[in-house]
Amino acid sequence: MTTVSTSTDQKPAATAAPASGPMPLGRALNAGMRQALATNDRVLLMGEDIGRLGGVFRVTEGLQAEFGERRVLDTPLAESGIVGTAIGLAMAGFRPVCEIQFDGFVFPAFDQITSQLAKMTNRLEGAVPMPVVIRIPYGGHIGAIEHHQESPEAYFTHTPGLRVVSPATAGDAYWMIQEAIASNDPVIFLEPKSAYWQKGEVDTTAPALPLHASRVVRRGTDVTLVGHGAMVGTLLQAAALAESEGTSCEVVDLRSLSPVDYGPILDSVRRTGRMVYAQEAPGFTSLGSEIAATVTERAFFSLEAPVLRVSAFDTPFPPAKLEGTYLPDADRILEAVDRALAY
């Protein structure tokens, strides 16, 4: 009989946090996971080709060489097995971080996530935490095909028992991945893959905000623009163009998709009287639908116009040459701004 040890055989390395400064979002995620691995020897990384290769986007590059094959595990091509194993590891006291190569590949693990991972702690009356992080690169703008550019966040925000977050900046990526790993609840960590190479300032001394806080990233007075992930950059681009035409747009980065921090959104809408939500996901029964409905309920008497949504179309993701038409861009957002101001 073979006995399998639960020891990692790897002591955490004594390592200082990286120096503050600009770095790409993907590199910030790498640095954040490195800190988590070094701080807690119960943290494990699991995924397809994440070890020697460093993942398809090289987000885990160098981590297996530093922490060993017992801490950074290359798995078979079986998402259901990855998540199922992570659940067992969590029950044994580990903190597994699973990488799903692309957004569309998460669905083979959907049963494990929604039927088991999200419900296990409640099923066991709170006695067993489920500190599992599932990293999912999501969204478009990389010129790929279906299953490689989708935005499946609504499936997970609709599932009680899961926390769902998405960083838009390198600074948030560095801290949010560490906070997600430290959580005793399962976290779906959505990484905007088109933003992996965008540089941003990272303060490694302290997080700017808690994990589930939304944030105003640009002040304005006429219209509130809200979004998450890579769409935040598009909203900022639209706001800059609107300013050149005399319209002042405030931009709110949602950051946490479940739970949602409505405070900054409602404060903004009560000042501007108008709101546009933009997302790469299709619009029907989407996260944007829920936020639009909630803002309408809670800020009804402050609204000067209906809350508008700008989304991808309700069709499967098209061939790469059509993604610029399928996904919302600054022009489609500005068209919604014009409609909101016309009321």
Catalytic residues, by residue number, are 148
Helix (H) or strand (E) holding 309: strand 308-312
Contacts of 275 (CB under 8 A, 6+ apart): 223, 224, 225, 226, 265, 268, 269, 292, 295, 303, 307, 308, 340
215-218 and 199-202 strand pairing: unpaired
Collapsing DSSP states into helix, strand and coil, what is residue 242? helix
249-253 and 215-218 strand pairing: antiparallel
Alpha helices (H) along the chain: 25-39, 63-67, 79-91, 110-111, 120-123, 153-157, 170-182, 231-244, 263-272, 287-298, 323-326, 330-342
Q: What does the alpha-carbon distance between residue 160 and residue 316 come to, in Å, rounded to a whole number?
A: 26
Q: Is the peptide bond before 131 cis (omega within 30 degrees of 0)?
A: no
